[in-house]
């Protein structure tokens, strides 16, 4: 992935007026005298003085500046339809992922669906089976909640050794949005769940007809039939016009392009819960239905592929989340885990959502290793890769939530390492 | 503005399975037997069965479905550069405004600015004047906060009589985003504010060089030098690459394309604070510097221009906000102000931000008038238009925050009325 994008200039490649000190106050002053440099000029041209020309008219629907080029890198795969693309976390601010940059994962491409013709069938062990139109679903009482979605395969390249060159590659399969829809419980309770209904099989309308089985208890708790994302309709890649939002559970359970929910007695043991989305354990067995994404965090700046322009004060920042609830604490180590400092969290903290942490840090110019460690409101602490591998082995693919280490070399180059 | 957009089909124009009752539970059941209808089919085609075809590949940067067409209507104006466009609130979910649909207001068009060449000059009564690059600003400690911005001219057509045909027209000059940037106080405190500095003059780099004077106290409180909007860089219409975010104050103070801050003793009495952005009072004087946007709310569904398909249960929903702090309460009347019921608020509630309210409502099929009334955490209650006009007269343009009335006719047509 190209880390020399114009918009990464804000992070790297320029000397700075901030010199080495923990007191920000002194630094701006020092900077004035010491270190003014000219900026890099982009190959794209803009008027030399924007006050001397008439600007662009109002528009019905906006788009970003031509100077902004952050994009989703594609995960290497035999086809571009059964593939994935990654959120460039190193370029994002705050906790909302722009919908254009929400990670993608699909098994037979993004289907095109006419919302007026789309239907959701709810059947099986339910007293009154039903076919719903989108308009009917949108007339029911709604909720909007900020939640993250993480693919269970996020970070899966990192089990045996540090592999990917940047945080987009190691952690880019998690994104966070404001989702709007109807609680599935609202509908299921009304239709009447029969006594024998223990699981709900959810099926997508894509070419893979992706199918996952979910325990009924979760479906009667906080699962959302979502049709809205960040204020507007779902984006096609995120399941337009209807998807499941299954707070805190692995991404593949949030079935997109949702067309069918069947209440059944047992899980269907579909491909996505037998050969795929299982965890190979050290004893050779495969663990199924590892639904919850455990507490995890990663530093997005400084992160691998970026370069610190020189010694001085920086703001270390990153994201933390837990599929079980609220992030309560993020600690940062700048000495490879020897000592830890609490990083303030961006408020309000949302349940099962990206939580932004930030901590000022003075880089001495010597080699060092940065890590973040998250604790959720159950008291669960994000493990080291060694502790995780002790239980899981290293032949698993999914559910790697270990502490990530970034080494800063004396030259300011940031690398993906094992601390 | 066209209210027959495909994406408004979700709200209007289709008979529904929900019949008249306050108990949602009974309704889904009744619907199955009574009222299944076929959906409207869009003129755009999509594969008849999306599971039988390969979908679209992953993409570096996403876009919305071709079936989604919500857009910003342009405010009538002599030119399209000195103009405004409106957020289609009737089509939005939750509290985040998609950046593509954030309202626009500019006086000489949207300038195109190369972020690498952009500079911010801070001078005047400051101990150490400074020119900052964007990279330098982005290296300082940052914050992300969800805030609304409302143009003081929002709803200005409604002083004398109900005028606009829909909520986009009456209230579309307010939008809400997650903004990221540096607290202006961080920089000003460091540079050293001189004793005589009582105001800060902020100047934009657009063709109008829009200029507003702000009291120093606000600038040392919660004003943000913002470079991020909803996770990515500011959109061009919202001030790319740098703007002021002045929480709760009228939109024109949030100077976009910010290039200069001058600390001075007195306000500059610019065009935007003398002939424009003042309030004509009944005695013929003009009130200046009415900075704060007072508590306000509006029902976005049902709202004028939409049509209820028939009697039955609906979810009344809308947005409330206060430039002074948190929304504490929203009440809804369905009888033109005779009686009021509290509407639950979407949590978490953000300070100085759109706050979504929702309340189930059974429409009997008889003519009625819907209103919402907001109370903020200072105890300020959104006034009636009569109470507001008693003090302000009706020859003002800006700062109309009165209760909005929508009449539902016996035919289900929703109209903008004076209750």
Q: Do B56 and A112 touch (CB under 8 A)?
A: yes
- In a 13 Å sphere around the CA of B257, the CA atoms on its Cβ side amount to 26
Does B87 lie at the interface with A, CB-CB under 8 angstroms?
Answer: no
Q: Do A55 and B139 touch (CB under 8 A)?
A: no
Give the least confident one: A314-323, B277-286, B364-373: B277-286
Q: Do B58 and A187 touch (CB under 8 A)?
A: no
Q: How confident is the model at residue A17 (pLDDT cuts 50, 70, 90)?
A: very low
Does B76 lie at the interface with A, CB-CB under 8 angstroms?
Answer: no
Measure the CA–CA gap between A293 and A395, rounded to whole angstroms.
18
Q: Are A85 and B58 in contact (CB under 8 A)?
A: yes
Structure confidence at residue A2 (pLDDT): 34
For residue B126, what is the nearest residue in chain A, using CA coordinates? A29
When pLDDT is averaged across residues B328-332 and rounded to a whole number, the result is 98
Closest partner residue to B80 (CB to CB) among A44, A57, A96 is A57
When pLDDT is averaged across residues A194-208 and rounded to a whole number, the result is 97
Chain centroid, CA B251 distance in Å = 10
Residue A214 has pLDDT above 80, yes or no: yes
Residue finishing a domain among B284, B308, B325: B284
* pLDDT > 70: percent of chain B: 90
Chain A residue numbers touching B47 (CB-CB < 8 A)? 111-112
Structure confidence at residue A152 (pLDDT): 97
| pLDDT tens digit sequence for B125-146 | 999 999 999 999 999 999 999 9
**A265 inside domain:** yes
Q: Are A353 and A146 in contact (CB under 8 A)?
A: yes
Give the least confident one: A308-317, A356-365, B15-24, B360-369: B15-24
Please state whether beta strands A355-363 and A341-342 pair in parallel, antiparallel, or not at all (unpaired).
Answer: unpaired
Structure confidence at residue B44 (pLDDT): 77
Structure confidence at residue B87 (pLDDT): 98
Does B109 share its domain with B228? yes
B355 to chain A nearest CA, in Å? Answer: 11
Q: Do A81 and B41 touch (CB under 8 A)?
A: no
Q: Do A113 and B231 touch (CB under 8 A)?
A: no
Measure the CA–CA gap between A297 and A322, rounded to whole angstroms.
9
Residue A161 has pLDDT above 90, yes or no: yes
Q: Do B94 and A178 touch (CB under 8 A)?
A: yes
Measure the CA–CA gap between A104 and A74, rounded to whole angstroms.
9
Does B140 share its domain with B214? yes
Does B183 share its domain with B316? no
Structure confidence at residue A275 (pLDDT): 87
Q: Are B174 and B103 in contact (CB under 8 A)?
A: yes
Residue A225 has pLDDT above 50, yes or no: yes
| pLDDT tens digit sequence for B216-238 | 999 999 999 999 999 999 999 99
Q: Are B175 and B87 in contact (CB under 8 A)?
A: yes
Chain B residue numbers touching A122 (CB-CB < 8 A)? none
Task: From B218, B328, B250, B259, select the one nearest B111 (Cα to Cα).
Answer: B259
Residue A32 has pLDDT above 60, yes or no: no
Structure confidence at residue B3 (pLDDT): 34
CATH number of the domain within which A269 lies: 3.90.420.10
Packing angle, helices A184-191 and B24-34, rounded to 10: 70
Q: Do B114 and A41 touch (CB under 8 A)?
A: yes
* pLDDT > 70: percent of chain A: 90
Does B230 share its domain with B199? yes
- Residue A358 CB partners (closer than 8 Å, separation 6+): A315, A316, A317, A343, A344, A346, B141, B142
Does A311 lie at the interface with B, CB-CB under 8 angstroms?
Answer: no
**In chain A, residues 224-253 whose CB comes closer than 8 Å to chain B:** 227-228, 230-233, 235-237, 240-241
Structure confidence at residue B34 (pLDDT): 29
- Residue A16 CB partners (closer than 8 Å, separation 6+): A31, A35, A309, A310, A312, B135, B136, B139
When pLDDT is averaged across residues B245-272 and rounded to a whole number, the result is 98
Q: How confident is the model at residue B45 (pLDDT cuts 50, 70, 90)?
A: confident
Does B366 lie at the interface with A, CB-CB under 8 angstroms?
Answer: no
Closest partner residue to A135 (CB to CB) among B9, B130, B190 is B9
When pLDDT is averaged across residues A412-417 and rounded to a whole number, the result is 98
Q: Are B365 and B313 in contact (CB under 8 A)?
A: no
Does B249 share its domain with B177? yes
CATH number of the domain within which B301 lies: 2.60.40.650
Chain B residue numbers touching A189 (CB-CB < 8 A)? 25
**A376 inside domain:** no
CB neighbour class for B20 (10 Å; exposed up to 12, middle 13-18, buried from 19): middle
Q: Do A39 and B9 touch (CB under 8 A)?
A: no
Predicted complex ipTM exceeds 0.90:
yes
Q: Do A358 and B14 touch (CB under 8 A)?
A: no
A34 to chain B nearest CA, in Å? Answer: 12
**B229 inside domain:** yes
**In chain B, residues 271-300 whose CB comes closer than 8 Å to chain A:** none
Chain B residue numbers touching A128 (CB-CB < 8 A)? 28-29, 32
Structure confidence at residue A7 (pLDDT): 40
Q: Do A50 and B206 touch (CB under 8 A)?
A: yes
Q: Which of B95, B139, B300 to substitute to test the interface with A, most A CBs within 10 Å?
A: B139
Please state whether beta strands A224-229 and A243-245 pair in parallel, antiparallel, or not at all (unpaired).
Answer: antiparallel
Q: Are A177 and A99 in contact (CB under 8 A)?
A: yes
Structure confidence at residue A42 (pLDDT): 57
Q: Do A141 and B24 touch (CB under 8 A)?
A: yes
Does B168 share its domain with B277? yes
Secondary structure of chain B in the HEC alphabet? Answer: CCCCCHHHHHCCCCCCCCCCCCCHHHHHHHHHHHCCCCCCCCCCCCCCCHHHCCCECCCCCCCCCCCCCCCCEECCCCCCCCEEEECCHHHCCCCCCCHHHCCEEECCCECCCCCCCCEEEEEECECCCEEEEHHHHHCCCCEEEEEEEECCCCCHHHCCCCCCCCHHHHHCCEEEEEEEEEEHHHHHHHHCECCCCCEEEEEECCCCCCEEEEEHHHHCCCCEEEEEECCEECCHHHCCCCEEECCCECHHHCCCCEEEEEEECCCCCCHHHCCCCCEECCCCCEECCCCECCCEEEEEECCCCCECCCCEEEEEEEEEECCCCCEEEEEEECECCCCCEECCECCCCCCCCCEEEEEEEEECCCCEEEEEEEEECCCCECCCHHHHHHHHCCCCCCCCCCCCEEEECCCCEEEEECC
Domain coverage including residue B361:
296-417
Structure confidence at residue A38 (pLDDT): 39
Please state whether beta strands A341-342 and A327-333 pair in parallel, antiparallel, or not at all (unpaired).
Answer: antiparallel
**B59 inside domain:** no
Closest partner residue to A109 (CB to CB) among B57, B102, B231 is B57
Does B241 share its domain with B318? no
**B375 inside domain:** yes
Higher pLDDT, B397 or A1: B397
Residue B23 has pLDDT above 90, yes or no: no
Does B32 lie at the interface with A, CB-CB under 8 angstroms?
Answer: yes
Residue A262 has pLDDT above 50, yes or no: yes
Rg of chain B (C-alpha set): 23
**B61 inside domain:** no
Measure the CA–CA gap between A200 and B104, rounded to whole angstroms.
45
Does B240 share its domain with B328? no
Does A333 lie at the interface with B, CB-CB under 8 angstroms?
Answer: no
Structure confidence at residue B42 (pLDDT): 57
**Across the A/B interface, how many CB contacts are shorter than 8 Å?**
408
Backbone conformation region of residue A165, classed left if phi is above 0, alpha if psi is from -120 to 50, else beta: alpha
Measure the CA–CA gap between B80 and B78, rounded to whole angstroms.
7
Measure the CA–CA gap between B14 and A99, rounded to whole angstroms.
29
Give how many domains chain B has, as a whole number: 2
Does B122 share its domain with B247? yes
Q: What phi and psi values does residue A362 have, to the nearest 5 degrees?
A: -100, 120
Tell me the pLDDT of chain A averaged across its residues.
91
Beta bridge partners, B211, equal: B203
Residue B286 has pLDDT above 90, yes or no: yes
Does B365 lie at the interface with A, CB-CB under 8 angstroms?
Answer: no
Does B377 lie at the interface with A, CB-CB under 8 angstroms?
Answer: no
> Within a 10 A sphere around the Cβ of B275, how many other Cβ atoms?
9
Does A74 lie at the interface with B, CB-CB under 8 angstroms?
Answer: yes
Structure confidence at residue A44 (pLDDT): 77
| pLDDT tens digit sequence for B349-368 | 999 999 999 999 999 999 99
Task: From A271, A295, A302, A256, select the one nearest A405 (Cα to Cα).
Answer: A302
| pLDDT tens digit sequence for A149-160 | 999 999 999 999
Does B9 lie at the interface with A, CB-CB under 8 angstroms?
Answer: yes
For residue B89, what is the nearest residue in chain A, using CA coordinates? A231
Higher pLDDT, B35 or A242: A242
Structure confidence at residue A45 (pLDDT): 85
Q: Do A54 and B109 touch (CB under 8 A)?
A: yes
Residue B169 has pLDDT above 50, yes or no: yes
Task: From A342, A332, A329, select the one nearest A303 (Cα to Cα).
Answer: A332
Q: How confident is the model at residue B21 (pLDDT cuts 50, 70, 90)?
A: very low
**A291 inside domain:** no
Structure confidence at residue A138 (pLDDT): 95
| pLDDT tens digit sequence for B174-192 | 999 999 999 999 999 999 9
**In chain A, residues 44-73 whose CB comes closer than 8 Å to chain B:** 44-47, 50-68, 70-73
End-to-end CA separation in angstroms for chain B: 24
**B255 inside domain:** yes
Secondary structure of chain A in the HEC alphabet? Answer: CCCCCHHHHHCCCCCCCCCCCCCHHHHHHHHHHHCCCCCCCCCCCCCCCHHHCCCECCCCCCCCCCCCCCCCEECCCCCCCCEEEECCHHHCCCCCCCHHHCCEEECCCECCCCCCCCEEEEEECECCCEEEEHHHHHCCCCEEEEEEEECCCCCHHHCCCCCCCCHHHHHCCEEEEEEEEEEHHHHHHHHCECCCCCEEEEEECCCCCCEEEEEHHHHCCCCEEEEEECCEECCHHHCCCCEEECCCECHHHCCCCEEEEEEECCCCCCHHHCCCCCEECCCCCEECCCCECCCEEEEEECCCCCECCCCEEEEEEEEEECCCCCEEEEEEECECCCCCEECCECCCCCCCCCEEEEEEEEECCCCEEEEEEEEECCCCECCCHHHHHHHHCCCCCCCCCCCCEEEECCCCEEEEECC
| pLDDT tens digit sequence for B62-120 | 999 999 999 999 999 999 999 999 999 999 999 999 999 999 999 999 999 999 999 99
When pLDDT is averaged across residues B383-387 and rounded to a whole number, the result is 97
Packing angle, helices B184-191 and A24-34, rounded to 10: 70
Closest partner residue to B235 (CB to CB) among A62, A95, A143 is A62
Measure the CA–CA gap between A156 and A169, rounded to whole angstroms.
10
Does B117 lie at the interface with A, CB-CB under 8 angstroms?
Answer: yes
Q: Which of A93, A117, A315, A345 to substitute to test the interface with B, most B CBs within 10 Å?
A: A93
Chain A residue numbers touching B46 (CB-CB < 8 A)? 112-114, 117
Residue B20 has pLDDT above 60, yes or no: no
Backbone conformation region of residue A412, classed left if phi is above 0, alpha if psi is from -120 to 50, else beta: left
| pLDDT tens digit sequence for A339-348 | 999 999 999 9
Does B263 share its domain with B363? no
Residue B15 has pLDDT above 60, yes or no: no
Residue A96 has pLDDT above 80, yes or no: yes
Closest partner residue to A113 (CB to CB) among B50, B142, B317 is B50
Core vs surface per residue B319-345: b (16+ CB within 10 A) or e: bbbbbbebbbbbbbbbeeeeebeebeb
Q: Is the peptide bond before B348 cis (omega within 30 degrees of 0)?
A: yes
Q: Do B139 and A18 touch (CB under 8 A)?
A: yes
Q: Are A52 and A388 in contact (CB under 8 A)?
A: no
Q: How confident is the model at residue B43 (pLDDT cuts 50, 70, 90)?
A: low
Chain A residue numbers touching B72 (CB-CB < 8 A)? 58-62
Residue A285 has pLDDT above 90, yes or no: yes
Closest partner residue to B135 (CB to CB) among A14, A83, A240 is A14
Residue finishing a domain among B251, B284, B317: B284
Q: Do B100 and A63 touch (CB under 8 A)?
A: yes
């Amino acid at each position: 992935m190209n880390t020399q994008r114009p918009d990464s200039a804000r992070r790297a490649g320029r000397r700075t007026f901030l010199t080495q000190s923990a007191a920000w106050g002194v630094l701006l002053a020092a900077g004035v005298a010491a270190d003014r440099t000219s900026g890099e000029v982009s190959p794209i041209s803009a008027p030399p003085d924007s006050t001397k020309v008439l600007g662009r008219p109002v528009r019905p629907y906006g788009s970003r500046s031509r100077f902004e080029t952050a994009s989703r890198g594609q995960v290497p795969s035999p086809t571009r339809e059964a593939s994935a693309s990654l959120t460039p976390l190193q370029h994002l601010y705050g906790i909302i992922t722009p919908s254009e940059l929400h990670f993608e994962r699909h098994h037979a491409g993004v289907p095109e669906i006419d919302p007026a013709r789309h239907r959701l069938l709810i059947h099986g062990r339910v007293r009154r089976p039903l076919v719903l139109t989108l308009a009917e679903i949108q007339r029911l009482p709604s909720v909007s909640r900020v939640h993250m979605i993480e693919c269970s395969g996020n970070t899966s390249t990192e089990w045996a050794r540090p592999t990917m060159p940047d945080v987009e590659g190691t952690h880019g399969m998690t994104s966070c949005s404001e989702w709007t829809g109807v609680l599935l419980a609202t509908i299921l309770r009304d239709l009447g769940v029969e006594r024998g209904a223990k699981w709900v099989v959810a099926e997508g309308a894509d070419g893979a007809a992706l199918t996952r089985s979910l325990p009924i208890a979760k479906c009667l708790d906080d699962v959302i039939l979502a049709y809205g994302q960040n204020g507007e309709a779902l984006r096609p890649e995120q399941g337009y016009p209807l998807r499941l939002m299954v707070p805190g559970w692995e991404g593949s359970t949030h079935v997109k392009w949702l067309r069918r929910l069947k209440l059944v007695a047992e899980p269907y043991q579909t491909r996505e819960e037998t050969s795929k989305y299982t965890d190979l354990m050290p004893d050779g067995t495969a663990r199924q239905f590892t639904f919850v994404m455990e507490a995890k965090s990663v530093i997005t700046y400084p992160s691998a592929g970026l370069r610190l322009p020189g010694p001085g004060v920086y703001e270390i920042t990153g994201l933390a989340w837990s599929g079980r609830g609220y992030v309560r604490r993020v600690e940062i180590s700048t000495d490879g885990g020897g000592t830890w400092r609490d990083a303030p969290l961006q408020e309000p903290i949302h349940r099962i959502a990206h939580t932004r942490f930030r901590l000022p840090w003075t880089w001495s110019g010597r080699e060092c290793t940065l890590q973040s460690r998250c604790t959720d409101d159950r008291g669960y602490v994000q493990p080291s890769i060694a502790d995780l591998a002790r239980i899981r082995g290293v032949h698993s693919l999914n559910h790697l939530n270990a502490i990530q280490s970034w080494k800063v070399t004396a030259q300011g180059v940031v690398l993906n390492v094992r601390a």
